[in-house]
């Protein structure tokens, strides 16, 4: 078979990743988010209402999705170890597609920084230049005062801690609204590069796999002013119950470390309502900005004449607390952090414009794209293709979805163990507060090395319940140190842990969890 024939038969893939995006979109029922392009894609494709990441932080989540394996297999649980360091031979999704006749390229953030895997996962370099009149943005900020503030903060921390300052000890402000064109920030600039790359790849004699990874709405929330102007701050609703779950795990929540490292955020104490509204405004503006870029990207498919032979998949790598449970950030085992947006459009799907409540996981994307493209599934995969849902979205499906996260309360915001430098900064009092709460709850079980280095929260989401088992990662067969159980039928916001009053149900669900993901697969 010639390559031109192969290109005609195999679909292209437009693979869109969005960092830190919870399902705060119009098509997911957001009260206020303005996201017309993603809404339109969902209206003509399929929206997955219960899709879950495997760990609610960037590098482990993306490594899991891009390898089709779960964190316990990758061994990657935080942001400061590379995928290839742990799994030098694993076959990634784009690498597998290269082996089966595809040209692959990416722009932006697909793998986490440091895992870009240039030599193996990508067969061609994406466009890198848009001409002398359009230079690549440097740094997150455009306003001179914010550029200066960021530089001063880094200089101060570098003077104290050297290279350790790079690990989340300094930053500029959490947000910015500058009256600049879209390409003045990196996501807009990268979209133009992706469009140019697509135009080049569409002319080739191979099907293409093009990844476009958006940085927003990851902090810092810097978006052009016109997207801020879409929203009236007075109309932005805030979380009404920002309390930790009643009887929940003291180690289940963190002190919003990632947000607090920003220069204009209080280092201790609550985030007041005015600031909370500004932060949510910034998140929404960032989301609308990304939505507009995705509109440009999908329109470019039509302009290139390849839309009718292209699969579009849009996914977020994890959710994000916007004051929910009193937390700002990702990095928990709860619904708000583990649930992600997932939208698929294919040329020949039958259930067009529908949604599904089926439990699916990001680890399922690899086998799904294989099946949709006629590419064989490698044996190492630990997900399950959800292609059947694209034709019959209401059929019985997985009985559970699985995620995990090492103790969020006593980890840095990249999920790595606490450093001495972090303890010495203004993070110190926050860490002490959390530690005291854990000691008060856990009593004789408290052991610093265990809780900081080895405690893992394993969570399972079934149709009705969320179970969280807090276990020593060195001995996952041992009895959990603490258990959480939330009933989504009566408590969808996960406000009360009911594990203590439901021991039989806990035993039943723990048994189901211990049986693992394979036992949760659809029965065929």
Q: Which residues are catalytic?
A: 58, 112
Contact 438, 410 (CB under 8 A): yes
Question: Which residue bears the tokens 């089926």?
Answer: 358
Residue 479, judged by CB atoms within 10 A of its CB (0-12, 13-18, 19+), counts as exposed
Strands (E) across 400-517 are located at 401-406, 455-461, 465-472, 482-487
Which burial class, exposed, middle or buried, applies to 34 when counting CB atoms under 10 A from its CB (0-12, 13-18, 19+)?
middle
Task: For residue 142, give the nearest of 259, 237, 60, 222 by alpha carbon.
Answer: 222
Contacts for 76 with CB less than 8 Å, ≥ 6 apart: 59, 60, 63, 64, 83, 86, 87
Helix (H) / strand (E) element for 7: namely: helix 3-9
* DSSP letter (8 states) at residue 157: H
DSSP letter (8 states) at residue 295: H
- Buried b / exposed e over 489-508, threshold 16 CB at 10 Å, is eeeebbebbbbeeeeebbee
Taking a C-beta distance cutoff of 8 angstroms, is the pair 92, 158 a contact?
no
Cβ atoms of 388 and 368 within 8 Å: the answer is: no
DSSP string, 110-147: SSPTT---HHHH-SSPPP----TTSPPP-SS--SHHHH
Q: Do residues 34 and 228 make contact, with C-beta atoms less than 8 angstroms apart?
A: no
Element (H, E) at 237: none
Beta carbons within 10 angstroms of residue 392's beta carbon:
13
Of 390, 264, 387, 283, nearest in space to 330 by CA? 283
CA 73 from chain centre, in angstroms, equals 19
- Residue 485 contacts residue 466 (beta carbons within 8 Å): yes
Q: List b or e across 134-150, with b for residues whose CB sees 16 or more CB atoms inside 10 angstroms.
A: eeebeebbbbeebbebb
Give the span between the Cα atoms of 201 and 40, in whole angstroms: 25
């Amino acid at each position: 078979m010639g390559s031109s024939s192969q290109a005609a038969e195999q679909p292209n893939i437009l693979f869109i990743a969005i960092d830190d995006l919870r399902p705060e979109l119009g098509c997911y029922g957001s009260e206020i988010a303005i996201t017309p392009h993603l809404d339109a894609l969902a209206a003509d494709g399929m929206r997955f209402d219960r899709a879950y990441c495997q760990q609610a932080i960037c590098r482990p989540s993306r490594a899991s999705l891009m390898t089709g394996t779960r964190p316990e297999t990758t061994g990657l649980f935080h942001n400061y170890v590379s995928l290839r360091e742990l799994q030098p031979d694993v076959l990634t999704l784009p690498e597998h597609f290269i082996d089966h006749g595809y040209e692959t390229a990416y722009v932006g953030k697909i793998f986490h920084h440091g895992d870009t895997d240039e030599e193996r996962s990508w067969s061609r370099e994406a466009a890198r230049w848009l001409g002398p009149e359009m230079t690549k943005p440097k740094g997150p900020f455009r306003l001179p005062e914010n550029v200066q503030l960021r530089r001063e903060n880094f200089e101060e921390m570098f003077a104290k801690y050297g290279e350790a300052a790079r690990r989340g000890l300094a930053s500029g402000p959490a947000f910015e609204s500058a009256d600049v064109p879209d390409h003045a920030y990196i996501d807009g600039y990268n979209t133009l590069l992706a469009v140019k790359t697509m135009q080049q790849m569409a002319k080739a004699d191979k099907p293409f796999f093009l990844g476009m990874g958006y940085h927003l709405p990851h902090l810092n929330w810097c978006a052009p002013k016109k997207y801020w102007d879409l929203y009236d701050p007075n109309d932005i609703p805030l979380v009404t119950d920002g309390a930790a779950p009643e009887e929940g795990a003291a180690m289940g929540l963190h002190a919003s470390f990632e947000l607090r490292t920003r220069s204009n955020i209080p280092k201790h104490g609550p985030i007041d309502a005015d600031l909370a509204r500004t932060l949510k405004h910034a998140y929404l503006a960032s989301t609308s900005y990304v939505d507009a870029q995705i509109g440009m990207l999908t329109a470019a498919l039509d302009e290139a004449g390849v839309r009718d032979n292209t699969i579009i998949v849009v996914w977020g790598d994890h959710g994000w607390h916007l004051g929910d449970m009193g937390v700002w950030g990702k990095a928990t085992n709860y619904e708000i952090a583990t649930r992600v947006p997932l939208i698929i459009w294919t040329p020949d799907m039958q259930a067009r414009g529908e949604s599904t409540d089926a439990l699916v996981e990001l680890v399922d994307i690899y086998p799904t794209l294989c099946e949709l493209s006629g590419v064989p599934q490698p044996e190492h995969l630990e997900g399950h293709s959800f292609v059947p849902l694209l034709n019959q979205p209401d059929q019985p499906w997985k009985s559970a979805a699985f995620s995990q996260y090492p103790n969020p309360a006593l980890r840095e915001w990249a999920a790595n163990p606490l450093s001495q430098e972090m303890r010495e900064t203004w993070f110190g009092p926050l860490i002490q507060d959390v530690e005291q709460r854990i000691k008060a709850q856990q009593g004789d079980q408290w052991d610093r090395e265990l809780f900081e280095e080895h405690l893992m929260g394993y969570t399972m989401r079934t149709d009705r319940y969320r179970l969280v088992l807090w276990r020593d990662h060195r001995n996952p067969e041992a009895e959990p140190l603490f258990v959480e159980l939330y009933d989504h039928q009566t408590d969808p916001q996960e406000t009360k842990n009911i594990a203590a009053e439901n021991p039989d149900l806990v035993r039943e669900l723990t048994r189901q969890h211990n049986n693992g993901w394979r036992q949760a697969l659809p029965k065929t």
